[in-house]
Structure 1
Amino acid sequence: MISELKITTGLRGSRTFLQEGYYTRPFKLADIGAYRADSTLCLMLMTASPGMLDGDDYRMHITVSDHTRLQLQTQAYQRLYTMQAGARQQMEVQVGQGAAFSYVPHPVVPHADAVFEGHNRIYLQENSRLVWGEIITCGRKLCGEAFRFRLFHNVTELYYRGRLVLKDNLLLEPARINVAAHGQLEGYTHQATLVYADTQVGAAPMADRLLELLAREPDIAYGVSQSAGPAIVLRILGHGAEQLFSCLRNMETILFNHHLAIL
């Protein structure tokens, strides 16, 4: 089933509002920031489905207009159910001049024989900022389904000034690639990725602060890389979805508040 989501923000005075919100089932949108003191639009993406099913095709288009700020949250863990053909998701994000966008969804839980392919394209303009997160788990570990999914392949591309400045290509295919091998997960069961971009002052100055935050966390491995453009990529390996999700949400708060502080 093809499911569509379209979000366009607008500016009314100094506050961001939802100028266009279009979605088909199973998607729903809720404004959860109506009583916040700041002017950011905070939306929650909800779904009436228990997760992605075989043949699902999600197509999302988000336009964060010039000088607006959008924080998009999810309602619950994203489950990928047992499949034959597989499920797909495409997401395109336009972040306008002087705009900011933050998206740190709940972890993905692939069930046995799940097949997922995703492609994210993000376009940044001058003086724009981005916080983008992703967490992939081993599956239902307590049900004996650790790494029993067939394929998880997600590509995220970041463009600035018409150039590709970052490409994150995450491929997990446990039957063909040993996830415990050197250069793979190396004994860990969960992986989190955080991309932070700032086309005004650059993202590198925030790297040390994020590493200091992670240094307090037990039983994880992590590292940060500078991209070819004004972005950094933080990778975390761990054993628990809640721990990694908490880490990403804490960093999201720091980065988004940092953005507001320097406006």
Structure 2
Amino acid sequence: MEVVLFGLFSSEDEELYILDCMAYCMIFMAVGVFVILLFEKLRYGRYSDSKYGFPVNAKFAWFVQEMPSFFVPLCLLVWASPAKTSLLPNQLLIAMYIFHYAQRCFIYPFLIRGGKPTPFIPFALAFVFCFYNGYMQIRYLSHYAEYPADWVTHPCFTAGSVLWLVGWVVNVHSDHILRNLRKPGETGYRIPNGGMFEYVSGANFLGEITEWVGFALAGHSVHSSAFAISTIVMLASRAVHHHKWYLAKFEDYPKSRKALIPFLF
């Protein structure tokens, strides 16, 4: 793998430059997506639309589109030199990323109950994003990221790690609540309650945003920051659309509940 990657670039400096450019491009694209999502919804789940491509089974779509976020990093790590992967800050940041996507790839899809098919275009775009981001994050952390020897005790790393863990717990718990809204054989939608759903309509989105904001704080790089910004743009929009949808569909929907940020937004 190292030979292949170095064959694509004239030097390590060039590859690092490309990784930086990828991060800035992701931020630029996030700005564009933000503008688009002011007028459009992400077309999967309850907002699926056949004009965005043929339907792909929900379990299959989630499994396949998340695969690059796990297997691309895994391949990069198998052939990575130990110069950076033996360092504790790098190991912990890589573990955060891999742990999240192991759950999203091998556990989450197979717990889905009757999810609506995903149109092909959103499915394909998600696959490309996961491949792009998986390479950018882990190639940087496994080969280029350098942190002070005491970085794991730095307030940024400590606070970021705590945020990541809290966000992961909120995300997984919120998904559990959503999966168990219906009894076996039931169809339709119900109001989610419990956990962070007592405060916001997008509790699962709040959890994932918190995760990657924490990751960005702990990672302290343009690459992790770009991922956090992209996540905020896409999932904040999703939370707002869900909130409006709940308010329109259910007359008894809690009026004090916010879309994404408890008590504020």
TM bin, normalised by shorter chain, reads under 0.3
Larger relative contact order (Cα-Cα within 8 Å, sequence gap ≥ 6):
2
What is the TM-score of this pair, normalised by structure 2? Answer: 0.22
Q: Which has the higher strand share?
A: 1
Greater Rg, structure 1 or structure 2? 2
What is the TM-score of this pair, normalised by structure 1? Answer: 0.22
